[in-house]
Amino acid sequence: MMIKPPHIAFSALALALLLDYWFPQFRFIFGSYRHIGVLIFILGLSMTFTSFYLFKKNKTPIMPGQKPIFVVMSGPYTFTRNPMYLGVATALTGVAVYIGNLLAFISPLIFFTATNFFFVPREEKLLESIFGKKYLDYKKKVRRWI
């Protein structure tokens, strides 16, 4: 079984919660300031689910490793080539803010690093091989992240 981004995301979420439990002395965000994390979390999930919807609407697979049949370039894909991953990293950042523990911020960093160095390069090569110039032109116009 290949590890996929959702596995990394849920593992990173569990890690954030465990680090807060094991090291409560690193909490630095208190009171109502923590609720900013809820807004960040909702923003991240909204971006992720909007991206899922666009993939479903265009009948192209969501999971990495599956052969895409369409390049989505609308919605959040107009300002980032990876809104699903960016949305998950943002949601994990929201959780870290809500938890308020400095160590919880390791969680979105792990997710971002794993996707940026292991998944995105493979996905981009696949898209280039399938869609050629169309995808290369899109890459020139839209940044990988933000």
Summarised one tens digit per residue, pLDDT across range 4-33 is 999 999 999 999 999 999 999 999 999 999
pTM recorded for the entire structure: 0.95
Beta bridge partners of 27: 101
Q: Residue 98 class from Cβ within 10 Å (0-12 exposed, 13-18 middle, 19+ buried)?
A: buried
In a domain, 44, yes or no: yes
Answer yes or no: is 48 within a domain: yes
Domain contains 38: yes
pLDDT one-digit tens code per residue, 102-122: 999 999 999 999 999 999 999
Buried-exposed string 117-145: b where 16+ CB fall within 10 A, e elsewhere: eebbeebbebbeeebeeebeebeeeeeee
Residue 146, domain member (yes or no): no
User: Where in the sequence is the domain holding 107, given as residue range(s)?
Assistant: 5-22+29-141
Of 116, 78, 93, nearest in space to 29 by CA: 93
Length of the chain: 146
